[in-house]
Amino acid sequence: MKSQYRVVVIGGGVVGASVLYHLAKMGWKDVVMLERRRLASGSSWHAAGGVHTLNADPNMAALQAYTIDLLPKIENESGQNVGFHMTGGLTLAGTPERWEWLQSNYRIFQSIGINDCELLTPEEAKKRCPIMSVDGVLGAMWADREGYIDTTGTVQAYATAAKKRGAEYYEEVKVDSLNQTSDGWIVKTEKGDIKCEHVVNAAGLWAKQVGRMAGVELPVSPLKHHYLITDSIPEVASSDFEMPMTVDLEGFTYMRQDQNGVLVGIYGSDDEHWAMDGAPWDYGEELFQEQLHRIENELMLGFKRYPAIENVGIKTWVNGAFTFSPDGNPLVGPVPGKKGYWSACAVMAGFLQGGGVGKTLAEWMIEGEPETDAWSMDVARYGKYAENKRYIRETTGQFYSRRFVMSYPNEQLPAGRQMKMAPAHDAMTQAGCRWGVSWDLEVPLYFAPYDDFEEKLTLKRSNANKIIAEECKAIREGLALLDITGFSRFEVKGQNAKVWLDQIFATKLPKPGRARLAVMLSFSGKLKGDLTLLNWGNGTYWIMGSYYLRAWHMRWFNEQMQDGVSIRDLGDEICGFALIGPNSRSVLQRVAEEDVSDMRFMDCKKLDIGLVRSSVARMSVTGEMGYEINCKMGDHIALRRILLEAGADQDICEVGFKAMLSTRIEKSFGIWSAEFTQDRTPAMTAMDRWIDWNKPDFIGKAASLAEQNGSGPEKIQVTLEIADGDADASGYEPIWSEAGDMIGFVTSGAYGHTVKKSLAMALIEPALASKGTNVIVHIVGVERRAKVIAPSPYDPDGMAMRN
Ligand SMILES: Cc1cc2nc3c(=O)[nH]c(=O)nc-3n(C[C@H](O)[C@H](O)[C@H](O)COP(=O)(O)OP(=O)(O)OC[C@H]3O[C@@H](n4cnc5c(N)ncnc54)[C@H](O)[C@@H]3O)c2cc1C
């Protein structure tokens, strides 16, 4: 072991070994992995080893598909058998909604390139898994690329393949502490100190402590999980093919063959955390005593699904721990505020996600950014609030206990809720507000007109749609009030503020007293932000954007920071309301201490609204005349009261974000995480119209100029009108030409209540992107006719917002 490396990877589980392998493969050879015991001494050794593509999050499904394809390759490279049994896999649906969901996912998989799936009847499924009873099964999805691997063999294979490519790893070397230096880290181990530029926390069950070694509180916790392995089952032993990996979602079990018996893993509603502060250092390869009381009901369902199990003994029980983040996805990437400290932990399914996690992290470290959109596993998707122990316990527990429970897009889950609320929250609740959550904050979804209104969970159009229609009407025809605490706000000041902003934004900076939509790019010319820049005219600028991206954007701003610039996240200080609709100007005038008639579209200024000192911008996400009125947290209640009173005779209507999202799609206004993601470019998304090509330089200029001068993107953004139906598109639904070729996918969808049409925005091949082209789209698995329409089906000339 040397005393200096470029990278030290802490932890020799499947994730650390995959990171090591990918770093070496991508050209960084001066890398070492340290393992306190033997390889795979954490949760990796006792995993069930199952691998499958199905994941409700399309980005995670793609990552899993990458990992599965990689496994035979690392076996070849290393010469170490990974024990891969590619049995194929079944996912069973036991309720009509689940069957709808599976059919929907089958189509969504197609749009992300997973084409080895098939929908089966219960009888067809039984033929592929004859030991299963299909009682209550309504249908199933088959996937070719599913099966199981040998866990320790796989870790060994990653590590050996890494070594063959020039990396090193050492067992029996425990990292005791970390010291940050001006140019990297000192890694203190039992066997001496190592100086390095980068440290990777791949410490699995010990990730919490290895985080704390660097002063980082990662939102991660281990939870306990059971599986059993049976003795030989005659039907399995005599079968001339292996039983497929079978996931019975309504039964809370997964099953695969294990020699001539089967392994059955059990998820249940009774979640149990273990060692929330990290596993004890002396924890080795022990297991916990099985706790049958926790899984009794699910076990009974498992026995019913696989009746043959009842006739044989149980050979082994495994009750082991593995780690979860609040949303169950990994925590990967550069940890904000800790240069050179990288996270590769909370990987709940290391064998099916570890390959993708290793690849993503290695690209990030070497190239500066991952090739594909890594948002869903980015460690910066959480903020400081997620350090809270109760938040971690509630959310990770909720994820575990709902692992196989169906989730609906209009469902609000209770864990970690009511953490942060805007001051007018209680008054808005009394007015009927139904709340969603963005990051740590409760955000208004819509206002129910009567107390006992109950929104039914559905994959289709919700019964709240009528309410949202009324709110949209108020926005378009009268006067609406929207709590905009759920926008992010950053204040930029200092002698070099202008120069810095000019560098990080591709857009021309707004003049004093003006606001402008501002595109931010990465060095490779991909999107980094669809933000709004406001120039208050006193040397202070604001950057406004999506609230849930606060830590993610702040990490980027800090990475690009220069002397003479200061940036502050105002998210905990400033909130506000948007006053929207054709009557907004006249009503604002009643309470403003200055004339607002000369405020043009995209003007911004400081204004006293009644007794509230405000920062007001005439802006519009809805495409209607509107003012975003920002105030201090302490003024939120007063501002709401002032505006409600002023607009009372105009029937002012409080609205939520659902109405905002419906109206914005009628304007073809894209939003982050839907139309805009970090693996898309300005030309794909039409964001290039906001780029100031005359600026001498900005981050991403060379790359986006090259794109501009190239042959054009493979897909471009369009708006679709979808034929009548009972569901709207939500995202990632595949789009087909009339000839039957897949030509793109939906980025977002909603019902447009003003134009009275189901609308979607989509990325499709340019040749089929012209207005009037007929296409086909699968929504909740059902084929629907659609056509490309001109952008902005409502008020295409933008007169309403500019009026
Ligand atoms: C019962 C059960 C069934 C499962 N089934 C599956 C499955 O079917 N499919 C699947 O994909 N996943 C499954 N998993 C999850 C899987 O085990 C984990 O996702 C995976 O093991 C995580 O790997 P890791 O490398 O992140 O962590 P770990 O395996 O915990 O590895 C971390 C390593 O870091 C080392 N380390 C920690 N701190 C230090 C330090 N300070 N210095 C040096 N070394 C250190 C540890 O000794 C350990 O070897 C299952 C888990 C359980 C418990």
Dump pLDDT digits (tens) for 702-716. 999 999 999 999 999
Residue nearest atom 48 in ligand 1 by C-alpha distance: 42
Q: Which atom of ligand 1 is nearest to the CA of 226?
A: 1
Q: What CA dihedral angle connects 737, 738, 741 and 745, to 10 degrees?
A: 30
Residue type, 73: K
Sign of CA dihedral 542, 546, 549, 550: positive
Q: At what angle do helices 465-477 and 657-666 cross, to 10 degrees?
A: 60
Element (H, E) at 265: strand 261-266
CA–CA separation, 334 vs 555, rounded Å?
9
Q: What is the DSSP string of 610-645?
A: TTEEEEEE---SSSSSEEEEEEEGGGHHHHHHHHHH
pLDDT level of residue 198 (50, 70, 90 thresholds): very high
Q: What is the DSSP string of 21-71?
A: HHHHHTT--SEEEE-SSSTT-SGGGG---EE----SSHHHHHHHHHHHHHH
Residue type, 474: A
C-alpha 560 to ligand 1 mean position (Å): 34
Dump pLDDT digits (tens) for 253-277. 999 999 999 999 999 889 999 999 9
22: Cα separation from own chain's centroid? 23
Q: How are the residues of the chain apportioned to helix, strand and coil, as percentages rounded to the nearest 5?
A: 30, 30, 40
Strands 566-569 and 89-93, sheet pairing:
unpaired
Q: Which atom of ligand 1 is nearest to the CA of 350?
A: 19
Residue nearest atom 15 in ligand 1 by C-alpha distance: 349
pLDDT level of residue 777 (50, 70, 90 thresholds): very high
pLDDT level of residue 451 (50, 70, 90 thresholds): confident
pLDDT level of residue 803 (50, 70, 90 thresholds): confident
Q: What is the mean pLDDT of the chain?
A: 97
Nearest C-alpha neighbor of 218 from the set 109, 323, 75: 323
pLDDT at 670: 97
Element (H, E) at 768: none
Residue from 43, 149, 277 to probe ligand 1 pocket by mutation (most atoms less than 8 Å from CB): 43
Q: Which atom of ligand 1 is nearest to the CA of 38?
A: 49
C-alpha 53 to ligand 1 mean position (Å): 20
Per-residue tokens: 457 = 């969970």
Q: Which atom of ligand 1 is nearest to the CA of 204?
A: 27
Residue from 258, 322, 361 to probe ligand 1 pocket by mutation (most atoms less than 8 Å from CB): 322
Question: Tokens 């592929």 correspond to what residue?
Answer: 128
pLDDT level of residue 285 (50, 70, 90 thresholds): confident
C-alpha 40 to ligand 1 mean position (Å): 7
pLDDT level of residue 54 (50, 70, 90 thresholds): confident
Residue nearest atom 14 in ligand 1 by C-alpha distance: 47
Write phi, then psi, for 533 (nearest 5 degrees).
Answer: -105, 135
Dump pLDDT digits (tens) for 4-24. 999 999 999 999 999 999 999
Residue type, 95: T
Dump pLDDT digits (tens) for 326-379. 999 999 999 999 999 999 999 999 999 999 999 999 999 999 999 999 999 999
Contact 678, 374 (CB under 8 A): yes
CA–CA separation, 322 vs 26, rounded Å?
29
Between the alpha carbon of residue 310 and those of residues 134, 230, 390, the distances in Å are 16, 10, 40
With H, G, I as helix, E, B as strand and everything else as coil, classify residue 325. Answer: coil
C-alpha 304 to ligand 1 mean position (Å): 31
Q: Which atom of ligand 1 is nearest to the CA of 227?
A: 1
Between the alpha carbon of residue 399 and those of residues 253, 271, 407, 548, the distances in Å are 15, 9, 11, 19
pLDDT at 563: 98
CA–CA separation, 210 vs 216, rounded Å?
8
pLDDT at 53: 82
Sign of CA dihedral 544, 550, 555, 561: positive
Residue nearest atom 36 in ligand 1 by C-alpha distance: 11
Complete edge-to-edge strand list for the sheet that includes strand 541-546: 514-521, 527-535, 541-546, 487-493, 566-569
C-alpha 286 to ligand 1 mean position (Å): 13
C-alpha 503 to ligand 1 mean position (Å): 42
Q: Which atom of ligand 1 is nearest to the CA of 39?
A: 49
pLDDT at 618: 98
Residue type, 248: D
CA–CA separation, 384 vs 441, rounded Å?
13
C-alpha 349 to ligand 1 mean position (Å): 9
Contact 479, 587 (CB under 8 A): yes
User: In degrees, to the nearest 5, what angle opens at C-alpha 206 toward C-alphas 200 and 212?
Assistant: 70
CA–CA separation, 339 vs 802, rounded Å?
44
Question: Tokens 């139904």 correspond to what residue?
Answer: 434
CA–CA separation, 215 vs 82, rounded Å?
37
**CB neighbour class for 694 (10 Å; exposed up to 12, middle 13-18, buried from 19):** exposed
pLDDT at 179: 98
CA–CA separation, 634 vs 131, rounded Å?
64
Residue from 84, 154, 205, 209 to probe ligand 1 pocket by mutation (most atoms less than 8 Å from CB): 205
Per-residue tokens: 719 = 């708006």
Residue 58 has pLDDT above 90, yes or no: no
**CB neighbour class for 49 (10 Å; exposed up to 12, middle 13-18, buried from 19):** buried
Residue nearest atom 49 in ligand 1 by C-alpha distance: 41
C-alpha 44 to ligand 1 mean position (Å): 4
Q: What is the DSSP string of 468-511?
A: HHHHHHHHHHS-EEEE-TTEEEEEEESTTHHHHHHHHBSSPPPP
Q: Which residues pair with 5 in a beta bridge?
A: 196
Residue from 206, 287, 329 to probe ligand 1 pocket by mutation (most atoms less than 8 Å from CB): 206
Tell me how crowded residue 409 is: count the other CB atoms within 10 A of its CB.
12
CA–CA separation, 649 vs 130, rounded Å?
69
Between the alpha carbon of residue 802 and those of residues 566, 585, 599, 618, the distances in Å are 33, 12, 10, 9
CA–CA separation, 464 vs 456, rounded Å?
8
Between the alpha carbon of residue 407 and those of residues 97, 163, 530, 586, the distances in Å are 10, 42, 29, 44
Secondary structure in 3-state letters for 207-238: HHHHHHCCCCCCCCEEEEEEEEEECCCHHHHC
C-alpha 228 to ligand 1 mean position (Å): 19
Q: Which residues line ligand 1 (CB under 6 A)?
A: 10-16, 34-37, 41-44, 46-50, 174-175, 202-206, 210, 225, 227, 318, 320-322, 345, 347-352
What's the mean pLDDT in 722-730? Answer: 96
pLDDT level of residue 59 (50, 70, 90 thresholds): confident
CA–CA separation, 254 vs 635, rounded Å?
53
Contact 7, 122 (CB under 8 A): no
Residue 551 has pLDDT above 90, yes or no: yes
pLDDT at 802: 94
Spell out the alpha helix ranges (H) of 621-744: 636-646, 657-666, 682-685, 701-709
What's the mean pLDDT in 441-457? Answer: 95
Dump pLDDT digits (tens) for 755-776. 999 999 999 999 999 999 999 9
Tell me how crowded residue 339 is: count the other CB atoms within 10 A of its CB.
16
Q: Which atom of ligand 1 is nearest to the CA of 176?
A: 41
C-alpha 398 to ligand 1 mean position (Å): 21
Q: What is the DSSP string of 141-198?
A: EEESS-EE--HHHHHHHHHHHHHHTT-EEESS--EEEEEEETTEEEEEETTEEEEEEE
pLDDT at 149: 97
Residue 672 has pLDDT above 80, yes or no: yes
Question: Tokens 């109405």 correspond to what residue?
Answer: 659
C-alpha 740 to ligand 1 mean position (Å): 44
Residue 56 has pLDDT above 80, yes or no: no
Residue 648: which residues within 8 A CB-CB, separation 6 or more? none
pLDDT at 597: 96
Write phi, then psi, for 734 (nearest 5 degrees).
Answer: -75, 150
Residue nearest atom 25 in ligand 1 by C-alpha distance: 13
Q: What is the CA radius of gyration of the chain?
A: 27
C-alpha 351 to ligand 1 mean position (Å): 9
pLDDT at 151: 96
Nearest C-alpha neighbor of 425 from the set 438, 413, 435: 435
Tell me how crowded residue 363 is: count the other CB atoms within 10 A of its CB.
18
Contact 34, 169 (CB under 8 A): yes
Q: Which atom of ligand 1 is nearest to the CA of 15?
A: 25
pLDDT at 492: 98
CA–CA separation, 128 vs 242, rounded Å?
9
Residue 194 has pLDDT above 80, yes or no: yes
CA–CA separation, 604 vs 619, rounded Å?
9
C-alpha 489 to ligand 1 mean position (Å): 39
C-alpha 200 to ligand 1 mean position (Å): 15
pTM: 0.97
C-alpha 41 to ligand 1 mean position (Å): 7
Least confident segment among 49-58, 106-115, 240-249, 520-529: 49-58
Element (H, E) at 802: helix 799-802
Q: Which atom of ligand 1 is nearest to the CA of 320?
A: 53
